[in-house]
Amino acid sequence: MIIVFSGCGNTAATASRLAAITGDETVRLSPAVLRAEAPVLKATGTRIVWAFPTYSWGVPPVVRRFMRRVRLDGADRLTHLMLTTCGDDIGDCAAMWRADVSARGWEPGRAFSVQMPNTYVTMPGFDVDTPAVAEAKVAAMPARVSEIAAELDRPGPDLIVRGSWPWVKTRIIYPWFVRMGMSPRPFHATERCTGCGACARRCPMANIALDADRRPRWSTECAFCLGCYHACPTGSVAYGRATRGKGQWPGIRTRHPNQHPTTEPKEC
């Protein structure tokens, strides 16, 4: 079973690709499940793959919260694996994930990372990849996933890109980022907004509602995935002034990758 959290579709597409090879059932966490106080899920298959994007060299807080709270029937008898997508590197994300899995009394196994187009844009110096770099990452993904699929049930080292200063990034920067860098408050729609609702439809937390004038309003249940920012067809979602002049990653397909008929994980 592959349990998927994905804001902008990279992880969903990567997990779907893996599932197409391994035949694992793929379940994408719905807003209701992610927001639930005591979610319940039934483990299926021979292993559990936790698939999520790397956030600030760690596990997205919304995924950690879900891991802490879920009643995952059958999870004790299975090995847990990690599949993360990232723009560049994951620091000590695998160590953080392993600690979270162990804290539940589950058995953590290997961790795998896949580079995909970068979605993080809300700090100075961070922007989306050039089209050529994004295309190259997307083109390389299937081969990387095949390599991972062949390793899933074998013992061995993690297949990850840790990058430089992993300890500092995960132990020092991650907690700071979670406290200071993930507030949804600065999100707003600029005057170019047409009221199409694509931002609200994309949100994996159901955190955006359109008001009577069809202007999006952000609430507080935000995973900071930036899906709303990247989904806007008119580039109208802004994060304070931080996103001025920044690019968007439209996703592997121009439509929401969720809608792919055969490979889209089912929602739970």
Ligand X SMILES: Cc1cc2nc3c(=O)[nH]c(=O)nc-3n(C[C@H](O)[C@H](O)[C@H](O)COP(=O)(O)O)c2cc1C
Q: Which does 26 bind (CB under 5 to 8 A by kind): ligand SF4, ligand X, none?
A: none
Select from 65, 83, 62 the least CA-distant residue to 11. 83
Angle separating helix axes 10-22 and 131-151, nearest 10 degrees: 30
92 Cβ partners below 8 Å, 6+ apart? 57, 58, 162, 166, 167, 169, 170, 171
Using the rule CB under 6 A, give the single segment among 20-28, 110-118, 153-161, 199-207 that binds ligand SF4: 199-207
Measure the CA–CA gap between 93 and 163, rounded to whole angstroms.
Answer: 11
Q: Binding of ligand SF4 at residue 222 (CB under 6 A)?
A: yes
The nearest distance, CB 73 to ligand X, in angstroms, is 26
**x-marked contacts with ligand SF4 along 138-177 as a string, rule CB under 6 A:** ----------------------------------------
Task: Please answer whether residues 235 and 224 qualify as being in contact, where contact means their C-beta atoms are separated by less than 8 angstroms.
Answer: no
Nearer to ligand X, 152 or 252 (CB): 252
Of the residues 54, 236, 243, 248, which one makes contact with ligand SF4 according to CB under 6 A: 236
Count CA atoms within 13 Å of residue 263 on its CB side.
19
The nearest distance, CB 186 to ligand SF4, in angstroms, is 11
Return residues touching ligand SF4 (CB under 6 A): 7, 184, 189, 193-199, 202-205, 207-208, 216, 218, 222-228, 231-232, 234, 236-237
